[in-house]
Amino acid sequence: MGTTATAQLTPREHEVAVLIAYGHTNSEIADLLTLSLRTVEMHRSAAMRKLGVRSRAGVVRWAIDHRLFV
């Protein structure tokens, strides 16, 4: 879960991961970003794989570790 993993995220994967960390559901993220639910699910899956986490809680931990909360 290091800087290398974070650097490998696409801008959209990063955006989706941050929204997950803030507690948004996939459906809410789809509405916020005007994307299909399936597209959000693909970005979520790719981001979690690249970050090496298996749960939404792991995404929250990544966001905390990288000081992404404002």
- Residue 70 falls within a domain, yes or no? no
CA torsion, points 17, 50, 59, 66, in degrees to nearest 10? Answer: -90
Helices (H), strands (E): how many in the chain? 5, 0
Q: Which domain holds residue 55?
A: 3-65
- Mean pLDDT (the chain) is 92
Count the domains in the chain.
1
- CATH number for the domain that contains residue 34: 1.10.10.10
Measured CA to CA, the distance from residue 36 to residue 19 in angstroms comes to 15
**pLDDT tens, residue by residue, 23-53:** 999 999 999 999 999 999 999 999 999 999 9
- Residue 10 falls within a domain, yes or no? yes
- Residue 23 falls within a domain, yes or no? yes
DSSP state of 23: T
Per-residue confidence (pLDDT) for residue 2, from 0 to 100: 52
